[in-house]
Structure 1
Amino acid sequence: MQQLEAFYESTPKAVGFIERKITIPSHTLNLYGPPRSGKSWAVLDYLATIPKRKQIYIDLADLRVEKSSLAKEVQGFIDMHGIETVVIDHYDGSFPMPRSRQTILVTQAPYTENPMMPLLELPPLDFEEYLAFEKRPTHPEHSFSLYLRTGSLPAMAAVHESILTLRLHDHIRAIFPTDGERTLFRYASRFLGKPVTPNQLYTAMKREHRVSKDWLYKTIKSWEERRILRWLGKYGQPKAARRLLLYDFAMPASMYFEKSLMGQLYTIAARRLLRDRPDIAYTDLLDFYDPATKSAILLSPFANPQSAAAKVGGMIAEIDRLGVASVTILTISNSFAFHFDTMEVTAKPFFMWILEE
């Protein structure tokens, strides 16, 4: 029981933890989310509220752990010490979940072996959370510019700009440990925010690399389960190519010397919208369409009233067909509003829209 004694005697501290939007409840659950979204830090902060002798934190990613012996000993150890809260970080299903008053399994993909277990997702930082993490107090507009460059991983929030790319690449190597995964991530990054199918990714990748279609489809499925990758569908066309979204927007940008501002902005907007509007979709002309509210969102970073009116005018047939009642145009810094016939058109900066939503 030496390894369990070591975990019991020494729980890591979440030094400098900054509160997130989620709250860990006092019952058994599965805390899940994509790599490096802050799950370990959140659960360690929660453990700091529980008496030390009543809790144990077991990290299966610790290279010293011998899982087979731990599996045989863990339940007896919990019972012997009267432990009430058990946290198993990086849980991989290699042994049954132990019994205690509260057991917290920390994973990337949701744990589905126990369908009755409550799930709690911790996504990476949204812009509001980033403002709390940022250690360089500035105007929100400037902070949003920094957010675009540093991305949504908590560990990146305070990294100096001179080493941003170096640190982002360190994360990429850790999250995607094989050459094949890193190559696929590079190709996926090229399509950030754009309609694409897995088969199109395979076709593009196989031109320069030896790759199995089965492997590519299996890897994409794994990324979907781990919340690394998700899709945004086309309204009314379930078989059409979906827009590809990656959970962080700075890592994809770091894969090429030329930047994809639109891909980054699209990812940020999609993540924000999908949180509360699961039916959001795109159309041939509208970046986002919400059928529940009959509203549309367009990305036009450098729009002005004249260019916005022309853009909306070119979409009027589709707007009429869908019965769109309002259009929001997201810009980098411009704000204005006008009416197009009876429809309200409002333009506002990204940072303002995110903080209002």
Structure 2
Amino acid sequence: MKSLEASYELNLSKINFLERKVKITHPKTILYGPSNVGKTYLIYDYLSHFKISEYIYIDFNDSRNNYEDIKNNLDEFLRKNQIKVLVLENFDFSFEIPYCDNIIISSDIKKRLKGFKNLTINPLDFEEYILHDQRHQNITISFNNFLKYGNLPEIINLEEHKKVHRLQEIIKLQSKNTTEYEILNILIENIDEKKSLFQLFNALKMKIKVSKDIFYETAKKLQENNTIYFLQKYNQEKAVKKIYCYNHSFLNAITHNKKFKNEFTNMIFLELNSKFKELYYLDNIDFYIKSLNQAVVCIPFFNSILMGSILKKIIKTAKDNEINEVNIITISNNENIKDPNIKINILPFYEWALS
């Protein structure tokens, strides 16, 4: 029982936790989400309400832990030590879970169990990021870092010269082999692009040896664990989907090719995706929020005079779809454009995201 004894001795009470908009509130909860979004720290926060002797924390990604030892002895160990909280981190549901009053599971497998609440964990939104960014009191500096280095909690207080390297490590750790890594890479390289999986598969097979089945299986897995998103065109299910990633800064971490607009738009997608279930794209409009009948267009450096023709296309699409409000999100511009039928706002990202 060495693995269980070592796990039982872990003292997690001294770990600092910063508040998130989501918390574990149910005694039996399955946490689900992509890598490094903060699932573990939510578990630490939950455990802080219990005595050290009342919980056992088992991480199946810890190579020191013996799987068979845990599987065969866990039930007896829980009863013997009168444990109130069982935590199974990075669990694959490959053995039956014994009884315990409180059971908290983290996994990258979507699983529904009777009596359990499923809780999806997303990376930090901009409001949460500002609360976590305790080194900077200036919103402009916080925004610049958020845009450049992304939305993962652990990156915020890392020394700047280590941030890109750590982002690269996180990408690699999500892949079991070189093929999976290359598939994830080509998807990240195409964020905010309208590309079919067939197009990307054909592009990748020119670079590496990969089967169509493996490519599609891996893409499906990445979609299911919220690493990659495929955004549908409104009312056109068969149209090519747009690709987004759970961390917009991964693009900058894997290539020197600058795609600033793509990263900026991915960042805005994540803010919207965490708040709205029905999100689509339209021609000339990046995001259509059906429930609000609103459109969001991402133009980092907007100039109403220089972009008159683009604005006309946006307004026409909005009118054709009976959209009553358009928000154009920029880096720093702030103005209103008058139109007799549609409310048009030009807002800097930080003002829009915090409103």
TM-score bracket relative to the smaller structure: over 0.9
Give the aligned partner of residue 69 of structure 2: 69
Q: Match of 1:172, SS?
A: helix
Partners of 1:317 and 1:148 lie apart in 2 by 30
Per-residue deviation at 1:181? 1.9
Letter in structure 1 aligned against 2:35: P
Q: Which amino acid aligns with 1:36?
A: N
CA drift at 1:13: 4.5
Gap regions ≥5 residues in structure 1 = none
Q: Deviations for 1:195-247, whole angstroms, at most 9, x for unmatched residues?
A: 12211110111122211110001111111122111111101101111111111
Q: Counterpart of 1:18? A: 18
Describe the superposition over 1:56-85 as per-residue Cα deviations: whole angstroms up to 9, x where unpaired.
111111112111121111111111222111
Runs of 4 or more consecutive aligned structure 1 residues displaced over 4 Å after TM superposition: none
SS at 1:56 equivalent? strand
Which residue does 2:317 correspond to in 1?
318
Shift in Å, 1:309: 4.5
Give the alignment of 1:10-89 within 5 angstroms.
10-13=10-13, 15-89=15-89
Partner of 2:275: 276
> Which stretch of structure 1 is more off in the superposition, 129-138 or 74-83?
129-138
Give the residue type in structure 1 aligned to 2:63.
L
SS at match of 2:282: coil
Give me the whole-angstrom Cα distance separating, in 1, the residues matched to 2:179 and 2:118. 31
- The 8 Å contact of residues 32 and 108 in structure 1, kept in 2 or not, is answered as yes
Aligned counterparts of 2:84 and 2:122: Cα–Cα separation in 1: 27
Q: How does 1:72-111 map to 2 (within 5 A)?
A: 72-111=72-111
SS in 1 for 2:329: strand
Q: Hey, what does 1:180 align to over in structure 2?
A: 179
- Is structure 2 residue 213 aligned with structure 1 residue 248? no
Contact 2:126–2:271, Cα closer than 8 Å, also in 1: no
Structure 2 counterpart of 1:246, one-letter code: C
Aligned ranges for residues 148-227 of structure 1 at < 5 Å? 148-227=147-226
Q: Determine the C-alpha separation between the residues in 2 that align with 1:187 and 1:308.
A: 31
**Number of aligned residue pairs:** 355
- State the distance in 1 between where 2:44 and 2:315 align: 53
Contact 1:32 1:109 in 2 (8 A): yes
Once the two structures are TM-superposed, the CA of residue 29 in structure 1 deviates from its matched residue by: 1.1
CA distance in structure 2 between the aligned counterparts of 1:109 and 1:262, rounded to whole angstroms: 32
Contact 1:67–1:94 (Cα < 8 Å) also in 2? no
Of residues 347-356 and 65-74 in structure 1, the stretch that sits farther from structure 2 once superposed is 65-74
- Structure 1 residues 14 and 283, CA, compared in 2 at 3 Å: closer, same or farther? farther
1:119 aligns with 2:122: no
User: Kindly tell me: are residues 106 and 14 of structure 1, through their superposed partners in 2, closer, same or farther at Cα, counting changes over 3 Å?
Assistant: farther
More deviation, 185-194/237-246: 185-194
Fraction of identical pairs, as percent: 27
What RMSD, in angstroms, separates the aligned Cα atoms of the two structures? 1.7
Q: Is the 8 A contact 2:122 2:274 kept in 1?
A: no
SS in 1 for 2:31: strand
Q: Which residue of 1 aligns with 2:257?
A: 258
3-state SS of 1:234 partner? coil
Query: Partners of 1:116 and 1:49 in 2: how far apart?
Result: 21
Aligned partner of residue 279 in structure 2, secondary structure: coil
TM-score under structure 2 length normalisation: 0.95
Aligned partner of 2:348 in structure 1 is 349
* Structure 2 gaps, min length 5: none
2: CA distance, partners of 1:309 / 1:4: 66
